[in-house]
């Protein structure tokens, strides 16, 4: 029983430490890698009306939806972000270039 309680506690703590896609995406600078492209180098703003902004999994540009983030994965020393166009016909990949300033 103690083992089960320990496993539950560890699982709970690990899940509480994970960040959402939108938290990871909004805190980084991104360089276009391949496919669908909304800009060569992108950084997200806190202003919903101007520039690029992310809410949940949707990327907005000047208040208009542009793309949907489908995943962010960590690969050795950087994140990789995969997004789709709104109609899901195009897929694009962006590479993390460090924390946004």
Nearest to 32 by CA among 52, 15, 7, 12: 52
Which pLDDT tens digit goes with each residue over 3-52? 766 555 554 444 434 556 778 888 899 999 999 999 999 998 877 777 89
Q: What pLDDT, on a 0 to 100 scale, did the predictor assign at position 12?
A: 44
pTM over 0.85: no
Q: Which residue has the higher pLDDT, 14 or 96?
A: 96
- Convert the pLDDT of each residue in 29-41 to its tens digit: 999 999 999 999 9
Ranges of beta strands (E only) in 23-63 are: 28-35, 41-43, 52-55, 58-61
Tell me how long the chain is: 101
How far, in Å, CA of 81 to CA of 33, rounded? 10
**Can you tell me the mean pLDDT for 80-98?**
95
Q: Is the pLDDT score of 93 beyond 50?
A: yes
Sheet holding 91-99, edge to edge: 41-43, 28-35, 91-99, 78-85, 64-75, 58-61, 52-55
């Amino acid at each position: 029983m103690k083992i089960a309680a320990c496993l539950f506690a560890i699982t709970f703590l690990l899940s509480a430490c994970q960040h959402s896609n939108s938290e990871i995406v909004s805190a980084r600078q991104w360089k276009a890698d391949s496919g669908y492209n909304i800009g060569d180098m992108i950084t997200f703003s806190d202003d919903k009306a101007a520039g690029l902004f992310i809410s949940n999994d949707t990327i907005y540009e000047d208040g208009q939806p542009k793309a949907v983030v489908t995943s962010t994965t960590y690969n050795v020393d950087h994140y990789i972000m995969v997004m789709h166009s709104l109609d899901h016909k195009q897929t694009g990949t962006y590479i993390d270039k460090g924390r946004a300033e």
